[in-house]
Amino acid sequence: MTEQFANIIQIIFADLILSGDNALIIGMAASGLPPKLRKRAIFLGMALAAFFRIFFAAIASILLSIPGILFFGGLLLFLVCWRFYKELKGKLNDKKEVCSDQKSYQGSPAKQLFSALVTITLADVSMSIDNVVAVAAIAREDTTLLIFGLVLAIMFMAFFATIIMNVLTRYSWLSWLGLIFLVYLSTKMVLDGFPEFFGILTSI
């Protein structure tokens, strides 16, 4: 009983940290869209995140057996960072007005929403792997704990994503701090996964 309680506490902390990363991605992507598209982007982003978490949870045992999985997840997250960097740089160059809701948005609403969802999807794949691997490692063979961690992660994302979007919409300069954090997270995932990846290369 004590061990299971300790595992629950560990899962809560892991979800708080890792779901916050997912929420940051969704919030950043949504804050860059016109006001009328933001809620839709958050809803679809949440749906995608939930799907990938459920999918990766279903194959958690397989993920845990793949050497260097975090390394590849980190590389994927670097791609997300690059997409965000280009988006933030473009907005910085095109910024002509003071009010964030009066920005000039390029492309049709459908194209803007699609671009944001591509970014969210790439991040969801990377971060869902990270989250599910962490929770599965704690839960081990306990399916109930794994499902608990999955549901809790989705709830945390729903709560944090809207808050982050509202803050970044009001204070757009914070997006650069978010990008710096994502670069740090990507680097950490690559470095954590590199020893296993390097082991594969040396064994070939």
Question: Of the ranges 41-45, 66-70, 159-163, which is most confident?
Answer: 41-45
3-state SS string for 2-54: HHHHHHHHHHHHHHHHHHHHHHHHHHHHHHCCCHHHHHHHHHHHHHHHHHHHH
Please give the pLDDT value at position 102: 46
Please give the pLDDT value at position 204: 65
Q: What are the pLDDT digits (tens) for 53-111?
A: 778 777 766 766 777 777 887 888 788 788 888 877 776 665 544 444 444 555 677 88
Please give the pLDDT value at position 201: 72
Torsion region of 9: left, alpha or beta (phi above 0 gives left; psi -120 to 50 gives alpha): alpha
CA dihedral sign, ordered 126, 122, 76, 13: negative
Show the tokens assigned to 70: 């975090």
Q: What is the pTM of this model?
A: 0.63
Cα 60 to Cα 135: distance, rounded to the nearest angstrom: 9
In the chain, what percentage of residues exceed pLDDT 70? 73
Q: What are the pLDDT digits (tens) for 166-183?
A: 887 777 777 788 888 878
| 113-119 average pLDDT score | 85
Domain spans in the chain, listed from the N-terminal domain onward: 2-203
Cα 109 to Cα 119: distance, rounded to the nearest angstrom: 16
Please give the pLDDT value at position 173: 77
Please give the pLDDT value at position 101: 46
Task: Name the band, by pLDDT with cuts 50, 70 and 90, for residue 156.
Answer: confident
Please give the pLDDT value at position 93: 65
